[in-house]
Chains A and B, each alone.
Chain A
Amino acid sequence: MGAQTMETPVAARAEEVWKVYGKAEAQVVALRGVSASFGRGKFTAIMGPSGSGKSTLMHCLAGLDTVTRGTVHIGGTEVTGLNDKALTRLRRDRVGFIFQQFNLLPTLTAAENIRLPLDIAGRKPDPQWWDTVIETVGLTDRLSHRPAQLSGGQQQRVACARALMSRPDVIFADEPTGNLDSKSGAEVLAFLRDSVREHGQTIVMVTHDPVAASYTDRVVFLADGSIVHELAKPTPETVLEAMKSGEVLV
């Protein structure tokens, strides 16, 4: 817990992370010594062209993938080196996920999907927090519906609520608006931003959409497995600008 005594509290941190796939000639280097910190209560976007390593970085941060070299911390816990059991517990209790494909269980209702991680952990949702989350995502009258009866935007909001419900240290969102029309996308992004502003949630989001990135506090640009640029308080224009000038082709 000693690492915790820093000036800005850090929710997730990567230090000199290398990720190499394959061996010898077929080797592909996905990450080349990436170091980055993600502050608590911040909304950060990771951008970069296909193959830049942005998804790999997120997977490594979330403990879904192992790193070849370097260390990853979530809060005060070193993720690298944990066994499957500890990783499972980490994901269950301290990390939230939002995927591009929504990934809801078709057999469960919206409410059951939202409660799933807590159920797995054998915990009860805090009723006040439950009401707050459900109200903010605007699902009050859709709770007993199954995913097949919900629109894409509604499904993604269920997924957001599921990620938020256990108040994880950090939520990782992988292209959360990639499968949504622009209106639903905007709703989801606004909702994610509000949860950061109002409830101090930490969110790390991978995206290639400058508009989506403009909802965040900070944008990290990746190319060829390295961080090439950073942008604070982004707007769609500054992001586009950075992408062009930095020759970061999305």
Chain B
Amino acid sequence: MLRATLKSLLGRKLRLVLSGLAVVLGVMFVAGAFVVTDTLGRSFDQLFATAFAGTDVSVSAKPKIEVSEMEGEQVPSALPASIVNEVRNVQGVAKATGMVTADGARVIGSDGKVLAGTGPPRLGGNWVGEDDLLKLREGRGPQQDDEIAVNALVAKQGKLKIGDRVGVLTLEPKKTFTLVGIWGYQNDKDSIGGSQEVAFTEPVAQKLMIGQTGMFNMINVKAADGVTPEQLRDRIATTVGTGYDVKTGDQLAEDNAASLKEFLGFFNKILLGFASVALFVGIFLILNTFSIIVAQRTRELAMMRALGASRRQVIGSVLLEAVVIGLVAALIGLAAGVGVGAGLGQLFASLNDGFEMASVGVPLSAILSSLIVGVLVTVVAAVLPALRASRISPVAAMQDVATPDRPLTKVSVAGAVVGAIGGTMLGIGLYGSGGLWLILGGVLVSFIAVALLTPLISRPVVGLLGRLFSWSVPGRLGRLNSGRNPRRTAITAAALMVGIALVTGVTVVMNSAKTSIAATAEDTVKAQIIIGGEQNGPRPPTFDPAVLDQTREITGVRAAAGIWNDQAQINGKLTYVTATDDLTKLADAFGGPQLPVLKSDQVAISTKELTDKGWKVGDSLNVQLSHGDAHRYTIAASYDEDFMPGTYFLPADATKDFGIPQPVFAFVRLTDGTTVDQVLPGIKALVADSPEVSASDRTTFINQQLSDFDTVITMVQVLLALAILIAVLGVVNTLALSVLERTRELGLLRAVGLSRSQTMRMVTVEAVVISVFGALLGVVVGSGLGAAVVRALNDDGIDKLVLPWGGMALYLVLAALVGVLASVLPAIKAARLNVLAAIAAE
């Protein structure tokens, strides 16, 4: 039986290549995801190992608020200079250096723009001289308070040279310095992991990066000979007490890498999610292929049964075939995935100037998941065809039976049942307490239901679609052919449906959300001019708070106020807070209710949050901000959250303890009769020294803030392209088989005078009808899913359903093109048939 299986495998190469390709592409995605995460993970390990190579032990103050990488930015705390002296006196310490090093030193390049910083930090610190790692390339370290040195990456990106006057944004607004030195690192590197670094003199660094002189972020300790870092760590920890984190250099590197790896894990999950969609679509293709192979081998299998093969042997032979295909495809997919992973790593490295990629490795997880996924998917898809094969009776070997098309009742009933299950899952997931998994499961089950119901609807819909082409004989024949095998047409179309439905669904939700939010913003926000920037990295763009007062002085401005954002622990719970320099003016500018100016110990909270937490006006709350000690604030007022840009409002005084003590947005409302054009140029001039932000009118600002939605749509489209590509392979496969199966018919048509080009047209029409049918299903199902999600989000303010008509039309047109492309090879094959041989074919 084994030999017979292998022989028959080799006998049908083309089909196997096509169905194998579906597995190859899916597995490639899976393996690629693991390889890129592994490679980047090791790159981070190397990066931090290099960065902390000169550190035996580090001491830093415990942060006031613990924030994980996924929750936001951890704001480091500062430690006083006295601790440095304490540590220096610990036995076994060779050298202890107080370091100022904090993210947020944004250098302005020679073109007047802030250097781009999307991922790696932009560190500002004190100049502590050269060491094993750090070497000056030009000039010297900063000695005067208006001097700085930068690393070579900053100099390169900003096109800066020694002697230039360079603007730097820090905790304080733009300050200008003279560049006196440029440094690099060992092995001639321009930066460590793409981070931009600026060094000031110590007092300047403390003032600009910590906000207080006499403070440091970290103590870098060198151990004396004969003392291990671990020993020294324990000694120092005992000396400084519990308020400090004391770590060895290795630990520090590990912890830093770990927090980035947490991010990589998340990224990996997204990639794997899309890989599973591709594989899910692949199952359709493989299922189709195996059904057809079994149908074509009816005689052969019946003969084996007649010769004494048992049912189990027949099932075994089909499943064995699946295992072999799955295994081979998984191995090829794995190899391709390593390439893709390496490519993605390179892409990441090229997007982050100065990032060094570790050598590409193939982790065990990639190998295992590739093989398991590849084989599992193929075998699962082959189970139904295998069972069908086992039901072939031995008599079939003797008869020339075209298996009659079985009625669709069973399949349709199954579809209805599965649909009900999927609908229920979705319903509970969306409206009830169910989570994301229930929704995803519901979507998946619904897809299967639609696939099961597709044969039933394929007849009328395909018939209707086909009418578009019925004006010519080849068109009519093609249309009739596409309706001939409803199951096969259905599965092929359903595979295409999945990808397009997901893209459409996401677009519906995103566009609806975007439009709803924009409409709400347009309706509620009274401010005509808004100052703010587009956030590209972990740190939001900020501006000089002095701009706020200057803006209020411009004639025509009725009210203006800025907001600061941070995370805080309120009564022990982590939450986002907002501060404003003038709550009354902010409420007026924003179009909100009348609110008092907050005193330094007062907080205003949205009515909804008050109800949720069971608080009332007059209650007192314990608030811990990123810096400083915890304070008690009294709830002074409450407001409708729909009309204010935040849930908690703190007074201006609180901003000095914020992680980023500069405003991120300002809202400006004009007096009646004043136009935006009259005031905007003046405000633009005011923010000229804050190059991260700009002043714009409300509509421009809203669109700018909502551009993320479009990015998500584009990303989803790109990631789902693979699933759609696999579906296209399915169309090719189905057509190739149609041509093969109808060889004699094609021969007859050619014999009675159908020309080659007419033959090709006939095949093309069949492909186009199937593809457009699939796209139509996808657009309809996707719109339905999207609409369901939007309905469920109604209470969250997404109250406008926007169907992407243009996009949907585009998908249908693209599907028609895909059909044409998919039919090229089968059509050529059909046209080239030898008429005589075709007619004689069995």
Contacts and interface: CB of A to CB of B under 8 A. Distances in A.
A103 B477 contact: no
A107 B481 contact: yes
Interface stretch (A5-13, A46-54, A89-97): A89-97
A54 to B, nearest CB: 14
B477 A88 contact: no
A101 B755 contact: no
Interface in A34-77: 59, 64-65
Interface stretch (B96-104, B145-153, B446-454, B744-752): B744-752
B758 interface: yes
Contacts, number: 64
Binding site secondary structure of chain B: helix
Contacts of B477: 105, 107
Range of interface residues on B (Cβ < 8 Å): 20 to 34
Contacts of A101: 744
A120 B473 contact: yes
A162 B484 contact: no
Interface in B709-758: 744-745, 747-756, 758
B756 A84 contact: yes
Given A103-B745, A105-B477, A108-B480, A91 B836 contact: no
A219 interface: no
Contacts of A93: 753
B623 interface: no
A88 B473 contact: no
B839 interface: yes
A23 interface: no
Interface in A11-25: none
Nearest to A116: B752
Contact of A107 (B484, B744, B753): B484
Interface string B750-778: 11111110100000000000000000000
B570 interface: no
Interface residues of A, number: 25
A117 to B, nearest CB: 4
A88 B755 contact: yes
Nearest to A103: B748
A116 B745 CA distance: 13
Nearest to A85: B755
B456 interface: no
Most buried by A among B745, B751, B753: B753
A101 B748 CA distance: 11
A84 B754 CA distance: 11
Given A103-B839, A107-B480, A120 B752 contact: yes
Most buried by A among B483, B749, B751, B835: B751
B836 A88 contact: no
B756 A117 contact: no
Contacts of A92: 752-754
A131 interface: no
Contacts of A106: 484, 745
A88 B751 CA distance: 7
Nearest to A88: B755
Interface in B470-486: 473, 477, 480-481, 483-484
Most buried by A among B484, B745, B752, B756: B752
A237 interface: no
Contact of A64 (B481, B744, B758, B835): B835
Given A64-B836, A120-B758, A97 B480 contact: no
Most buried by B among A64, A65, A93: A64
Interface string A99-123: 1010101111000000011011110
B748 A117 contact: no
Given A103-B748, A107-B484, A120-B473, A88 B839 contact: no
A88 B753 contact: yes
Contacts of A108: 480
A121 B472 CA distance: 11
A65 B836 contact: yes
A162 B753 CA distance: 12
Contact of B752 (A59, A65, A107, A162): A162
B753 A89 contact: yes
18 contacts: A64-B836, A84-B756, A85-B755, A85-B756, A88-B755, A89-B753, A92-B752, A97-B748, A97-B752, A99-B839, A101-B744, A103-B745, A103-B839, A105-B745, A105-B748, A108-B480, A119-B473, A120-B758
Given A88-B750, A117-B752, 17 more contacts: A64-B751, A85-B755, A88-B756, A89-B753, A91-B750, A91-B751, A91-B752, A92-B753, A97-B748, A99-B839, A105-B745, A107-B480, A107-B483, A116-B752, A117-B753, A120-B754, A162-B752
Interface of A: 59, 64-65, 84-85, 88-89, 91-93, 97, 99, 101, 103, 105-108, 116-117, 119-122, 162
Closest CB pairs A-B (n = 7): A92-B753, A107-B480, A103-B748, A117-B752, A88-B755, A119-B473, A64-B836
